Structure 1
Amino acid sequence: MSQGSTKTTALKHMKNPTGWKVGLVGYGEVGRILAEDLRAQGVAVSAYDIKLDNSASAAPLHAHAAQHGVQLASSSAALAPESDFIVSAVTASQTVLVAQACAPALKPGAYFLDFNSASPNAKQRAASLIDGAGGRYVEGAVMTSVPPHRIKVPLLLGGAFAAELAPLINSLGFAAKVASDKLGVASATKMCRSVMIKGLEAMVIESFTTARHYGVEDAVIASLYETFPGIDWEKQAAYFFQRVIEHGRRRSEEVREVAETVRDAGLTPWSASGTAERQAWVADGADLCWFGEKGSPEFARSANWRVEADRMLKHVNKKD
């Protein structure tokens, strides 16, 4: 086959996403959801996660991969040369490191979708690595919680290849829209939203747990219902407590990126910095098993946020 024919075949392949080999860097909650939805369509998926390097944390990932037909890779670098489309879905602090690991081994012309909740500056640094290695970097900003929506979670794309990638991945079930051909716009939208959303999580946990200590939670919630009647505060509080207990470490890293975004705008990130500390504090409590052993059925599963607040108060007040 001539060089021209090989190039034509490669181009046709890249325009047919169902024939892609998809590589997932990050096989946590988001990665596993994407893997399930892509494999349900017959798309080939491989994945790598740092937890695979530890035998204890690797076991459930191996079980999930076997159940859904996902091939597990030994590293990000090992996954890259076989992937037509890479999705980086790791914690915010790993954003640039994943791009560094994948770049030298990228398949020429491969798309690299950065799903991570990182600052515009971090996305731009990752893009320079991927594009410099012959890949096609696209920043992605996930605009709400993934589990309810799964692969159809609202997703903003940015960068020179965003308009090119959007219809391709939407044919696989994604719900992507192009925010801008300029890097940083999509992630700035996400970061500014997170000042509010992650901040609200932290404020509810701090307010409601303190109210529980003083026995005034019912009065506080009644007042909130009067001020914001469109919000079911009991249900929302239960959801916030559960999500932060389970994912507070990842959330705290994201909000530290939010703080950097605020700082880059010339403002002191007082709110974002406090939110990051509260999220990390809850994550520390989860690591110390305040809320039950991770992986157990009762871990962060109470529909009553008061149960989790009482667990927090027990430990901070050193009660038996």
Structure 2
Amino acid sequence: MGGNNQMKIALLGLGEAGSSFANDLASLGVTVVGYDPALKRDLSPAVTLAYSNAEAVLNADVILSVNLSAVAETIAAEVLPVLRPGQLYAEMNTASPDTKRRVEAIISPSGAQVVDVAIMAPVPPKGILTPFLVSGPGADRFAELLLPLGMNISVVSDQTGEAATRKLLRSIVYKGIAAVIGEAVDAGRSFGLEPYIREQILSVVGGNDALIDRFLEGSKTHALRRSHELEAVVAMLGAQHVEPVMSRATLTSLENLIERTQP
């Protein structure tokens, strides 16, 4: 493979994250082919749309699967018959380590290498430059191919599931704190004591009111995506025989937010 313009990347799933990645990669001179069964996002004219996941991955050097964890294994099985040795299959869904390993078990017989990719921050505003934590058999090759594009990639190990584990452990903290802050502000407001409760929050997390507002807005804006993340956390902790008391509560908090913000 020569320069970036000779690299072909397939995007399976063109939602908020996938469409952003596709457009950014195309702007970097990469050949991008994508598929989404219900496309709603605007795509660059440089992105070629395929008619199926299987068509999209034909002759792709790197395949980025950016869907929902619920369909991760289905999509892997769908593309398996057309995969070939040497291809990289990056499972980017926020899924439990076990789900990532099941995807690896599906893909491996093809000779393609699996990469467990954990997206470590909201995709907007950085798009393809969002920090990625990667592990799995294809992790080093993934970094070798994509770091020259300026991407932010940190390799953890050659074991699938290790990137996912780190992301979800972090989620227990970040999403849990966001849920506590949301509940505390709601409670303070109900007593007419919002300024007081904000002072208490800041005594723990530092910063100023803008930081609290970012926690509150982030929870509302990304409630659905974060609920899937917490479902993966609960599954991961259950597999480790760790009782996910706080993570289940965080998941309930996000589900309540989704109900309240739906039109």
TM-score normalised by the chain length of structure 2: 0.92
1:184 aligned residue (133, 136, 161): 161
1:86 deviates by 0.8
Structure 1 gaps of 5+ residues are 1-12, 53-57, 290-320
Partner residue of 2:135? Answer: 158
Q: Pick closer, same or farther for the CA change 1:217–1:50 going to 2, 3 Å.
A: farther
8 Å CA contact 1:248, 1:282 repeated in 2: yes
- 1:81 counterpart = 2:58: yes
Partner residue of 1:277? Answer: 252
Partner SS, residue 225 of structure 2? helix
1:273 deviates by 1.2
Cα distance in 1 for residues equivalent to 2:245 and 2:150: 38
Partner SS, residue 146 of structure 1? coil
Q: Pick closer, same or farther for the CA change 1:110–1:255 going to 2, 3 Å.
A: same
Cα distance in 1 for residues equivalent to 2:37 and 2:184: 35
Partner residue of 1:4? Answer: none
TM-score normalised by the chain length of structure 1: 0.76
Partner SS, residue 115 of structure 2? strand
Partner residue of 1:245? Answer: 220
1:44 aligned residue (25, 31, 36): 31
2:210 aligned residue (208, 219, 235): 235
Partner SS, residue 222 of structure 2? helix
1:107 deviates by 4.1
Cα distance in 1 for residues equivalent to 2:159 and 2:13: 25
Post-superposition, which runs of at least 4 consecutive aligned residues in structure 1 deviate over 6 A?
none
8 Å CA contact 1:80, 1:86 repeated in 2: yes
8 Å CA contact 2:114, 2:160 repeated in 1: no
Superposition RMSD on alpha carbons, in Å?
Answer: 1.9
Deviation by residue 1:248-297 (Cα, 9 ceiling, x = unmatched) = 1221111111111111111111111111121122223333x2xxxxxxxx
Larger radius of gyration: 1
Partner SS, residue 147 of structure 1? coil
Cα distance in 2 for residues equivalent to 1:149 and 1:193: 20
Q: Pick closer, same or farther for the CA change 1:244–1:51 going to 2, 3 Å.
A: farther
Cα distance in 2 for residues equivalent to 1:177 and 1:276: 28
- 1:262 counterpart = 2:262: no
Deviation by residue 1:54-94 (Cα, 9 ceiling, x = unmatched) = xxxx3xx3xx22x4421222332231224221111122322
Identity %: 29
Deviation by residue 1:8-35 (Cα, 9 ceiling, x = unmatched) = xxxxx2x654312211112122112212
